[in-house]
Amino acid sequence: MKHFLLSAFLFLYTLNSALSQNNVVPEDSTAFVDFLILQEEVPGLGYRFTVSGNEYPEELNQLGDLGFTLNSEGGYTSKILLNWAQFFDLENQIVQFQVRPKLEFLVFSSPNSITGCRDYLLEIIQTGDYNPIFEKKKTTEDLIALASQEPYTPFQKFRLFFVSDYKLFLVSGIIILFFTVSSGLTLFMLILKIKKGKRDKLIEKYDQDILLPLSSLPFEKEVEEIQAMSIDELHEYFPKDLLEIELYQEVLIDRIISLNKKMKGDFKLKFKTLYLLLGLDKVSIRLLKEKSWDRKTLALVQINEMDLVEALPMIRPLVNHDNFYVRSQAVATLLNISESKDLAFLRDLTYPLSNWQQMNYLRIIKFISSQGVVNIDVLFESKNETVRLFAIKLVRQLGRLDLMDSLSSLTKNATDQEKVELLKTYAAFGAHMELSFIHECLNSFSSEVFQEAISAAAILGDDSTILRLSRILNSRQLSFGQLKLILFAMREIDFESFDQAIQNTDSIDIQNIGKHLKDPLLKNV
């Protein structure tokens, strides 16, 4: 019984060992090749590549590691290869020439199938003639000991590690640059603040020094007495050494102009006389020659306030300056201090006039027109549309009925904006002689011109206008607002025609608007 059990145990152990060894070698072809590559070399087991003759490129002859030769079937066969670790590298060398090689397994240099190769490998493993490898070999050598046998040679060309590591060097450079720039900016702001503090203190000191003579001199002396004062007498009030300081000049000019704005009559003349006697007019003219636009604008304000007529030739070119503030102030200054009522310089403006500029110039022209007739008709010749529009507004605002003929000459080539302003002017003046122009504008495709023409027709229209408005009412597609304007105009011209138009229409909108306009409580709403 014991002998039987021992025999059975040995049989099962032998069977289990055989099955275990059989599972060591993969059955799948791809996994089998990978297993052979892991082994690198197996005794008696090799391989070679075969390429058909019609696919064989001449470039393969240059691959000495493979050594292709012509076989008996007309194809080409590489030499026998025993190192499986080079399998993929050798295969890629062939594939790069657009060739798909056939793999042939060899057992002791004889072609065999993949099953035969696997059986051979299992047999030499079972007999103990070959020990398979299941994982990649790890380095067992002592790398430090090996390195100690080699002489030291620096990997970097630079001696300093800080310089050789360019990333560290770049980051350090950026940090140093940041602190340098920030320190420079802080120092600059500190210096600027100190300078501003000193300047503010000087302005306050100069202001106190100037306050007394400016508050006493104009009240103690008449205009003739101030004009007769010598330079030495003036220096008693305004020291010579201070008059040569630019900041003192700025403070003095600012205070004189501020007081000049508040005073009237002889006091204004006294301040202007002082301004000239102290040579501050030369300071203003010098500022006018500077390049910065803010200094030029400041100079123009000073010249305007002090009526420095001698600066007019220098101001005229500035009306077309590229800076808005310079040219705006230049035109205002010319209008204020020029003795001529000719507006030719406005005619030649190249830049468009803004609404703010037009309001400012209108205020000045209204003032100077009270002192004499202003030559407005020259503006109608301007190539600048905004100047022509401004001229039409001037005619309306100043009530210049004598320029109606000039306005009529504009109607032939007028733009839509000019037509709108002309219609407003004709309505304001009650110009019945321009009714034909109003009728012409009723046919305009511009809604703004069309609506302004209806408003003018309500004031200046006649029976022919009623016919035109009725035709428009029945033939054109009109908005609610335009319908209301037309019906309002018809009511103002002829109430019977207005009432008849409402009764003869099927339009609900027209009927509702008619009821609204007939209602005495709602007609002006």
Place of tokens 């006389």: 273
Q: What is the DSSP string of 170-230?
A: HHHHHHHHHHHHHHHHHHHHHHHHHHHHHHHHHHHHHHHHHHHHHHHHHHHS-HHHHHT--
Angle at 267 between CA 262 and CA 269, to 5 degrees: 110
Q: Which residues contact 269 (CB under 8 A, 6 or more apart)?
A: 223
Please state, in angstroms and as integers, the Cα–Cα distance from residue 405 to each residue in 6, 223, 382, 401, 470, following that order. 141, 48, 17, 9, 31
- Tell me where in the chain the CATH 3.30.70 domain(s) lie: 29-135
Q: In a structure prediction context, what are the per-residue pLDDT tens digits for the chain, which is 525 residues long?
A: 545 445 544 444 444 444 445 567 787 777 777 777 777 788 888 888 888 777 777 777 777 677 777 777 777 888 888 877 777 787 887 777 777 788 888 888 888 888 888 888 888 888 877 778 776 655 555 666 666 666 666 555 555 555 566 777 788 889 999 999 999 999 999 999 999 999 899 889 988 888 888 888 888 888 888 888 888 888 888 888 888 889 999 999 999 998 888 888 788 888 898 889 988 999 999 999 999 999 999 999 999 999 899 999 999 999 999 999 999 999 999 999 888 778 889 999 999 999 999 999 999 999 888 887 788 889 999 999 999 999 999 999 999 898 898 899 888 889 999 999 999 999 999 989 999 999 999 999 999 999 999 999 999 999 899 999 989 888 888 888 888 998 899 888 888 888 888 888 878 888 888 888 887 776 566
**Distance (Å, whole) CA 422 – CA 358:** 17
In eight-state DSSP terms, residue 57 is -
Q: 29-135 — its CATH code?
A: 3.30.70
**Distance (Å, whole) CA 5 – CA 476:** 121
Q: What is the 3-state secondary structure (H, E, C) of 226-248?
A: HHCCCHHHHHHHCCHHHHCCHHH
Lateral strand order in the sheet of 69-70:
69-70, 76-77, 45-51, 102-107, 110-112
Angle at 260 between CA 258 and CA 261, to 5 degrees: 70
**Distance (Å, whole) CA 520 – CA 525:** 10
> How large is the C-alpha radius of gyration of the chain?
53
Are 343 and 361 contacting, i.e. CB atoms less than 8 angstroms apart?
no
Number of neighbouring beta carbons within 10 Å of residue 85: 12
Place of tokens 């022209």: 365
Coil/strand/helix, residue 372 = coil
* Among 219, 205, 289, 215, residue whose Cα is nearest residue 251: 205
Tokens (6 digits) for 138: 């790890």
Coil/strand/helix, residue 148 = helix
Are 275 and 281 contacting, i.e. CB atoms less than 8 angstroms apart?
yes
Q: Which residues contact 33 (CB under 8 A, 6 or more apart)?
A: 84, 87, 103
For 200: left if phi > 0, alpha if psi spans -120 to 50, otherwise beta; the answer is alpha
